[in-house]
C-alpha cells in the first residue's frame, strides 16, 4: 500500500535504485513528489562548484577534434596529474567506460577487488563473465591466483588510502608474473602527492584511471584518462580510436586541467567545506567512518532510514544496499543548500 | 629534398595521412603552409551546414545525464531512424568507437568486409587479431566460413547500395547458423526508406550502426547509435554503461533528431548541392564513379595529383592510398567556398 503522497512507494520498493548509484535525482523526485524543490544532490562525490565552463565555439560541435587538440588535452592531463616516464596517457569518454572496457582489454580470469568499493568495477567484470573476489587487503603476491587486482585509491565510499610506497612494493612482485594491477584514482586530485602518476616510473602492467568528473565537477562532460605501460597503451589507443572525446569536451578539459589557480583554490575550499559537513553531522549524532574532501561516509546511531529522512526534505544522500546504517554525503553547493541541509540535520535529534 | 615552401615535403612523404582519413586539416596546413586560408575541408562526408546548435545550459556539463534524458534521446533516434520491434537502440560515444568495439562484442574469427570501404572496420578487426577477408559481393550463405560480415550501406566512398530486400534475403540464412551481420548505415539518413531500421523486424544477429556526425554535421559531438537484437543489445548496454554520451551531446542530439523540418530541408539542399558538385567536376574532366548526396567519388582522367592540386588552393579533398586516381569530394559550406572550389576546378583544364 502506498501513502497518499507517494512517499510510501519509495520506502517500500522503489528506493533500491538510490542505493546502487548516486545522482539519480529524477528517480528521487518521482519517489518523493511532495519534497521541497529544487532537489539538493548530496548523493555523489562530485564537486558541486564546478570549473567554470565558458561558451564553446559552435565549430567544436561540428568538426572532429583535431589530433593536435587531443594531444594538447593529453599533455595538460600529464602536466596536471604527472606521468611516469614509461607510461602513456590516453583520454577516454568517461572513466566509467574505461572501467567497463577493462575486462575486454586485460582478458578474463579471476579478478580481485579491494572491497567495499565503487560497484561498477565488480559489475563490469561479472558482466564480462569473470569470477570476482572481494578482498579486504592487498593479497600475498606469492600466493593469490587472481590475474588482475583492482584498487580504488583513495577508496569510495570510505576514503581508505593505501600509501603509494606500499602499492609500489606490492606492484613489483605482483606484476612481475604478468598479473595486472588497476588503480582507480578518480578521487586522487585531492591528494596529488599520493598518485601513482607522480612516480618517475610506473610498475609494468599497472593501469591508472583518472576522472574529470569529480574534482573538476564536470561529470556531464564524460572525460577521463587511462595511463598505462606498453603494450597495454597501444591496445587502448586502438580500441579508443582517434576521437575518444567530443570536441567541446576536449576544449573544456584542456582549459580546466591548465587552470592551476582554480585547482589550488578548490582544494582549499573543499577541505573547508568538508570540515563544516563533519561538524554538522557529528552534532546530529552520526559517526564518521571515513571519506575524502569530496564525500564523507557516516554511520547512523540507530535504525532511522536517513535516505528517507533527507529525501523528505528534498535532499538526496547515498545509501548502500549492503550496509543499511551507512550513508555517504557529498558537499552542498551554496549557502542556501547548506541552510536546508543544516535544518534537516537538526531535525534528526 | 624538400621544396622551399614545404610543399615538396607533402608530396614526397607526408601526405600519406591524408589518404587514410578525412578531416586532417591540421596535417594539410602543416604540409602546405603557403596555401590560402581558411582551409576548405572537402575531405569528409560531413554535412558542412550542420544542425544549428544552441547554447547549452552549463548544468549539463556538470551533472551526469539523467536516465530519462538518455531515454528521450534514444526514443528520438528510434522515431527518426525507425526501430524494428525486436531491436533495441543504444547510444554510443561516436559510431567510430562502436566500430572499434565490435570485435570485442562479437568475438573473433574470420570477418568478411564488403570492399573497398571505410577503412576503420578492417583496421579494428585486424587490431583485435581477426583475419579479415575483403569481399566484392555478398558471399554465398551456404559456403562462406566467415563468422561475421560487415556491409557499409550506402557504401563509403563509392555510394554502392545493396537493396534492403536483398540484404534481408541474405541475412536470414546467414544469421540462422549463428553468424553475425553488421550494417553500417552512417550515410543512410539520406535515404531513410533503405534503412534496415525501417523494417518491422530485424533479422536476429544483425547489428546496425548509425551516426549523428554525417547528415546532421555534428561530428564533434561524438554521438552514434547501435541497434541490435538480444542478447547482443544487453551486452552492448553492459559495456557502454549508464552514461555513454556527454550531457550536452545528449541535449543537442535529442533536439536535432526531433527537428523534422530541418531534416527535410537538409535532404533537399544536399541533393541540390550534390548536383552542383557533379556538374563542376564533370566539366573539369573527372568521371563520376558513385557517391551519396554528402560525398562523391570521382576518377581523374590523367595522372595529375588532385590532392596536391586542390591543397595548393587551400582545399582538402580525400585521396586513397590504394587508388591513386580516385578522389572523394564533400560539399562546400557556402558560396565563398563554392567560388574558390570552382576556380580550382577551372584550373584543372
First to last CA, chain B: 29
Q: State the average pLDDT over residues A233-262.
A: 95
B109 vs B157: which has the higher pLDDT: B157
- Give the mutation candidate from B52, B53, B63 for the A interface (greatest A CB count, under 10 A): B63
pLDDT > 70 fraction of chain A, expressed in percent and rounded: 95
Please, are residues B37 and A25 in contact by the beta-carbon 8 Å criterion? no
- A46: CB partners within 8 A, 6+ apart: A22, A23, A213, A214, A217, A219, A294, A330, B62, B63, B64
DSSP secondary structure code for residue A165 in this structure: H
**Which residues from A are below 8 Å from B239, CB to CB?**
100-101, 104, 127
Phi, psi of B204 (to 5 degrees): -50, 140
Min Cα–Cα distance to chain B from A121, Å:
12
Per-residue pLDDT tens over the stretch B175-187: 999 999 999 999 9
Full-model pTM: 0.90
Per-residue pLDDT tens over the stretch B101-130: 999 888 888 999 999 998 899 999 999 999
Please, are residues A146 and A279 in contact by the beta-carbon 8 Å criterion? no
Judged against a pLDDT cut of 70, whether residue B314 lies above it is answered with yes
Closest CA to B300 of B234, B345, B339: B345
CA distance A113 to A130: 12
A98 touches chain B (CB under 8 A): no
How many beta carbons lie within 10 A of that of residue A133, not counting itself?
16
What's residue A14's pLDDT? 61
How many whole angstroms from its chain centre is CA B299?
20
What's residue B63's pLDDT? 86
Q: State the average pLDDT over residues B313-338.
A: 94
Quickly tell me which residue has 585531492 as its cell: A190
Q: What is the ipTM of this complex?
A: 0.87
Decide if A218 and B61 are in contact by the 8 Å CB cutoff: yes
| Three-state SS at B162 | coil
Find residues 11-40 of chain B whose CB sits inside 8 Å of chain A: 21, 23-27
Please, are residues B101 and A239 in contact by the beta-carbon 8 Å criterion? yes
- A191: CB partners within 8 A, 6+ apart: A154, A161, A292
Quickly tell me which residue has 550494417 as its cell: B183
Judged against a pLDDT cut of 70, whether residue A125 lies above it is answered with yes
Q: Which residue of A has its CA nearest to B245?
A: A222
Amino acid at each position: 500500500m502506498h501513502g497518499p503522497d507517494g512517499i510510501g512507494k519509495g520506502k517500500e520498493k522503489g528506493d533500491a535504485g538510490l542505493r546502487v548509484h548516486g545522482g539519480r535525482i529524477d528517480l528521487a523526485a518521482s519517489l518523493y513528489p511532495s519534497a521541497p524543490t529544487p532537489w539538493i544532490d548530496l548523493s555523489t562525490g562530485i564537486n558541486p562548484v564546478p570549473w567554470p565552463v565558458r561558451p564553446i565555439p559552435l565549430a567544436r560541435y561540428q568538426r572532429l577534434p583535431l589530433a593536435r587538440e587531443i594531444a594538447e588535452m593529453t599533455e595538460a592531463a600529464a602536466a596536471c596529474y604527472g606521468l611516469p616516464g614509461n607510461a602513456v596517457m590516453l583520454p577516454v569518454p568517461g572513466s566509467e567506460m574505461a572501467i567497463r572496457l577493462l575486462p575486454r582489454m586485460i582478458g578474463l580470469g579471476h579478478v580481485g577487488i579491494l572491497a567495499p568499493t565503487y560497484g561498477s568495477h565488480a559489475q563490469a567484470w561479472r558482466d564480462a563473465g569473470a569470477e570476482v573476489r572481494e578482498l579486504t587487503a592487498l593479497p600475498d603476491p606469492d600466493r593469490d591466483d587472481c590475474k588482475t587486482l583492482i584498487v580504488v585509491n583513495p577508496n569510495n565510499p570510505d576514503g581508505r588510502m593505501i600509501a603509494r610506497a606500499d602499492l609500489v612494493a606490492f606492484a613489483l612482485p605482483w606484476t612481475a608474473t604478468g598479473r595486472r594491477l588497476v588503480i582507480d584514482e578518480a578521487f586522487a586530485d585531492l591528494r596529488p602527492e599520493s598518485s601513482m602518476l607522480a612516480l618517475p616510473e610506473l610498475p609494468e602492467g599497472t593501469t591508472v584511471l583518472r576522472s574529470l568528473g569529480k574534482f573538476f565537477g564536470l561529470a556531464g562532460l564524460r572525460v577521463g584518462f587511462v595511463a598505462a605501460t606498453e603494450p597495454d597503451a597501444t591496445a587502448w589507443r586502438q580500441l579508443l580510436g582517434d576521437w575518444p572525446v567530443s570536441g567541446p569536451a576536449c576544449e573544456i578539459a584542456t582549459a580546466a586541467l591548465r587552470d592551476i589557480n582554480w585547482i589550488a583554490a578548490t582544494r582549499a575550499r573543499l577541505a573547508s567545506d568538508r570540515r563544516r559537513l563533519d561538524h554538522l553531522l557529528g552534532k546530529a549524532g552520526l559517526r564518521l567512518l571515513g571519506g575524502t574532501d569530496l564525500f564523507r561516509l557516516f554511520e547512523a546511531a540507530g535504525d532511522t532510514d536517513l535516505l528517507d529522512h533527507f529525501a523528505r526534505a528534498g535532499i538526496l544522500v547515498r545509501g548502500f544496499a549492503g550496509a543499511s546504517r551507512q550513508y555517504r554525503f557529498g558537499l552542498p553547493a551554496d549557502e542556501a543548500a547548506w541552510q536546508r541541509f543544516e535544518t534537516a540535520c537538526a531535525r534528526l535529534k
